[in-house]
Chain A
């Protein structure tokens, strides 16, 4: 048993455990196929549906890849993701009248600021990450309601230039070879970059130390505050990217644009084999976890399961995975999960 622990830190071991996630994804695919073969659901095994799954998984995946850095740092999750997504979407639409590029840049800058703030408060002031980011989520929601008085806004309603509106509407609908959507490409780029940053850079090494033992990292002369802040910034930036995607795809700035992405992302992260205790797991695993979330949503929707029941099922899966995780850590003699 102690062996797969040491294995877990080798790159081979990481691939093996990531492969496990893809095995589960394949299983879901098989279940979907079976349900279709037995006539319980229809239209699962079509190209269009597969694209839907991948597109949905891409949006969750983009958020999850960023948030995985927070989880890996030992700070569980960033619950401010939903309104970060919603808020930056509003801002971008509002600013389209100054052009597409400036609007996107300002949106990203706002994401950056939210990340910096979260990182400072959690890293430096040692606030509880869940409580703090939940609070930020509510406050941001309040800000949205204050500015836009509960209204949804549309890209073409703000007297923005035709070109900027079209660009904003269409960019995320871009499909390479008429097949692979821009969000999917973005996700793949983020996964490769994220995996590299986590395993090959000095920041990644420090992040692992911080996540494994915050005190030991600090007592090794690592600026843990800086490391934690960077993790929150990465999360906020990927949330902004996903927020703009959701806004562009739905062609509307709405407060609910990011709803549910916090929990979907955390679930993808833990299914992907990352422990909430920090310091263990990989971005490749998180990609697999996002695929599973995408597949699950799709199958459940085809089965006619309602949104609330879907949430419940996801919640149950989350609890089971975290439970298994904690148990396997305990049997390895480290119940510091």
Chain B
């Protein structure tokens, strides 16, 4: 690594941003060198995203000074920010969903032939951008037809296409699989070598130790410290983040596993998964492990009644379930927590309370008269149990920090008291403390007799919570591992196919 003679790419001096009732960023000074990867960490709601949104021109009422390459600038609109070469990959995906990948990627700079769109060139440019992030997709597809992790990569490709000199990534890996994370790291190293300043936000500390040069810790809107990565340990970072030490640990209580609740036999949805059979019992947590694209989410959607199976049979407590809609499945007690929090999980414009009560509207009504008061104690209890901040059911969900939104999503499904709960990446974007809270809620649910199907790319989580793990590979269940055999290594090997000969599916 060379010494930094290039100097500061970004200097934020004593910046603050307040929202009614909160100071989200409180007198923070933050500097990034050109060619540096600077990690930004902190608990949910610490103010990381707000600090970076300031940079992206989202607010016109921040205070303090921002200098880019030594010159003071005002960043009051996204256009200004873009002009100064700031690229932002948001925590919440921001692509326009019904529009094609091409149009998203090349928005504002579609190549033209005279007055007309130069289709062939647009296509090849889009292809090139996609290839850069390791995607081989048809660029004509609309965003809503590709998966979460692909959309995340498209988003990254889009921002890179603008040629930024400062690149901010707000939890870019929370929707990515391991292979894709590796690919992203390679890209980050390339960018760094080209002298681009990268700000990297993540709750996943091992990642930070792999790629960051320095790390800044935030807590309650304030900056706690900035340190070269070599001079801190994981424990010290956590200590600075939460003000106490937290260990990621899994305590296994004695589990009471009852009789079979869910029986799936020969289930197929052509093109996604084939001939899947398994049983899950009362009080059991069944992990489902696989690479992205292995068909896990698609299986979940079929079980939840959101998509139809082409073949096979689903039985709940011995009776066949043929649900055509999610409403059907839910009324029988099968609930599904989606991996797409922003579009499918939450109504961002409504309040925390309204979102939590959404699946149980009918249960809270007598006749057809809805009683909010009847749901209020339940909402308050869940807000307390999951430690949702701010603890106010009247807050608009979209104004909560990412991790707190994720907790609201879980609260919504805990409120519905399901018999079978399918969790698709339940701890996406939450901090270590919140992860432990969510895990103990899941454990509690299982103890109360709920059958939990857990889909997660977080292997420690999968190992820690599951009684058994089914390995899914290229649309097939390839094997099952009991709690005893499960380890991160064994799961990874199995998910890649024991021989590891073939690449990612």
Contacts and interface: CB of A to CB of B under 8 A. Distances in A.
B369 A6 contact: no
A213 B349 CA distance: 8
Kindly list the 9 A-B residue pairs having the minimum CB-CB distance in the complex, ordered from nearest: A221-B330, A220-B358, A213-B347, A202-B365, A212-B347, A219-B344, A216-B347, A3-B20, A223-B327
A216 B346 contact: yes
Contact of A205 (B20, B361, B399): B361
A327 B390 CA distance: 27
Given A6-B395, A204-B370, A215 B343 contact: yes
B370 A200 contact: yes
B348 interface: yes
B394 A10 contact: yes
A213 B348 contact: yes
- In the complex, which of the residues A10, A213, A217 has the most CB atoms of chain B within 10 Å of its own CB atom? A213
Nearest to A203: B368
A97 interface: no
User: Does more than half of chain B's interface fall in helix, strand or loop, or is it mixed?
Assistant: mixed
Contacts of A333: 58, 398
Given A200-B369, A206-B361, A215-B344, A221 B349 contact: no
A149 interface: no
A334 B399 CA distance: 10
Nearest to B392: A6
A9 B347 contact: no
A206 to B, nearest CB: 6
Interface in B399-420: 399, 412, 416
Contacts of B365: 201-202
A222 B346 contact: no
B351 interface: yes
Contact of A201 (B21, B58, B368, B395): B368
Given A6-B351, A221-B327, A205 B370 contact: yes
A207 to B, nearest CB: 10
B344 A222 contact: no
B306 interface: yes
Interface in A192-208: 200-206, 208
A329 B344 CA distance: 21
Nearest to A213: B347
Given A203-B368, A220-B358, A222-B361, A213 B330 contact: no
Interface residues of A, number: 32
A258 interface: no
B326 A221 contact: yes
A216 B349 CA distance: 11
A218 B350 contact: no
Contacts of B347: 209, 212-213, 216-217, 279
A5 interface: yes
A2 interface: yes
Contact of B350 (A209, A219, A336): A209
B325 interface: yes
A324 interface: no
Contacts of B395: 6
Contacts of A212: 347-350
Contacts of B370: 200-202, 204-205
A218 B325 CA distance: 9
Interface residues of B, number: 42
Interface in B331-381: 331, 335-336, 338, 343-351, 354-355, 357-359, 361-362, 364-365, 368-370
A66 to B, nearest CB: 18
Contacts of A279: 347, 349-350
B321 to A, nearest CB: 14
A204 B370 CA distance: 8
29 contacts: A1-B20, A2-B19, A3-B20, A5-B396, A9-B396, A200-B369, A200-B370, A201-B365, A202-B369, A205-B357, A205-B361, A206-B361, A212-B348, A212-B349, A212-B350, A213-B346, A213-B348, A216-B346, A216-B355, A217-B358, A218-B306, A219-B306, A219-B336, A219-B345, A222-B358, A279-B347, A279-B349, A334-B398, A336-B349
Nearest to B21: A3
Contacts of B412: 220
B54 interface: no
Nearest to B351: A9
A208 B368 contact: no
A280 B349 CA distance: 9
B329 interface: yes
A208 B348 CA distance: 12
Interface centre among B326, B335, B347, B349 (most CB of A within 10 A): B349
Interface string A66-104: 000000000000000000000000000000000000000
A104 B132 CA distance: 67
Contacts of A201: 365, 368-370
A3 B392 CA distance: 13
A212 B357 CA distance: 14
A218 B358 CA distance: 10
Nearest to A1: B20
A216 B335 CA distance: 14
A79 B345 CA distance: 32
With most chain A CB atoms within 10 A of its CB, the pick from B19, B346, B358 is: B358
B394 A221 contact: no
Contacts of A202: 361-362, 364-365, 368-370
Contact of B343 (A1, A209, A216): A216
A335 to B, nearest CB: 11
A206 B357 CA distance: 10
Nearest to A329: B349
A208 B362 CA distance: 14
B118 to A, nearest CB: 29
Contacts of A217: 347, 358
Contacts of B344: 215-216, 218-219
Interface in B453-476: none
Contacts of B350: 9, 208-209, 212-213, 279
B334 to A, nearest CB: 9
Contact of B329 (A2, A9, A203, A221): A221
Given A2-B19, A200-B369, A334-B349, A219 B338 contact: yes
Given A215-B343, A219-B336, 4 more contacts: A5-B399, A206-B361, A219-B338, A221-B329
Given A9-B350, A202-B365, A216 B20 contact: no
Interface string A218-232: 111111000000000
Nearest to B330: A221
Nearest to A222: B327
Given A9-B394, A205-B370, A219-B338, A2 B20 contact: yes
Interface string A323-337: 000000000011010
A164 to B, nearest CB: 36
B98 to A, nearest CB: 11
Interface in A218-255: 218-223
Interface hub of A10, A201, A212, A221 (most chain B Cβ within 10 A): A221
Q: Residue among A2, A10, A217, A219 with the most chain B CB within 10 A?
A: A219
A43 to B, nearest CB: 46
Contact of A334 (B343, B348, B351): B348
A213 B345 CA distance: 10
Contacts of A206: 361
Contacts of B362: 202
A334 B325 CA distance: 30
A132 B355 CA distance: 31
Contacts of B306: 218-219
A119 to B, nearest CB: 16
A213 to B, nearest CB: 4
